[in-house]
Amino acid sequence: MIQEMIQATKGRFGFHLISDAHRYRPADLSIQFYVMSSALSRRADLAISPHLATETDIDKFVDDAIASLQAIRVDAKRALTVAHTG
């Protein structure tokens, strides 16, 4: 089974667009988001999302990720402040 794939990386994040065009008509398309797994990575190589098939799926995943990152940022800053002040 050969899949066609488009990859793009911006900063530490990226996505893969996967198509099973040779198997299905119409083509079965999905996006999967990735993050660089280490500082030595040259491209985003660790999947952080399921396969997303619609624009709505993509928007929901990214919106949820942003909200989670903003919440964890607040917690991390609070922990750092508490650690410094004892």
| pLDDT tens column, 10-31 | 999 999 998 876 665 666 889 9
For the segment 35-45, what is each residue's pLDDT rounded down to a tens digit? Answer: 999 989 888 99
Question: Where in the chain are the domains?
Answer: 1-53, 54-86
Is the backbone of residue 39 left (phi > 0), alpha (psi -120 to 50) or beta?
alpha
Output the DSSP codes for 9-29: EETTEEEEEEE-TTTSSS--E
- Kindly tell me the sign of the dihedral angle through the C-alpha atoms of 63, 6, 51, 38: negative
Q: For tokens 């917690």, what's the residue?
A: 75
Q: Round to whole Å and give the CA distance between 55 and 61.
A: 10
pTM (two decimals): 0.80
Contact 3, 21 (CB under 8 A): no
Tokens encoding 60: 């929901």
Under the banding of pLDDT at 50, 70 and 90, the label for residue 46 is very high
Q: What pLDDT is attached to residue 24?
A: 58
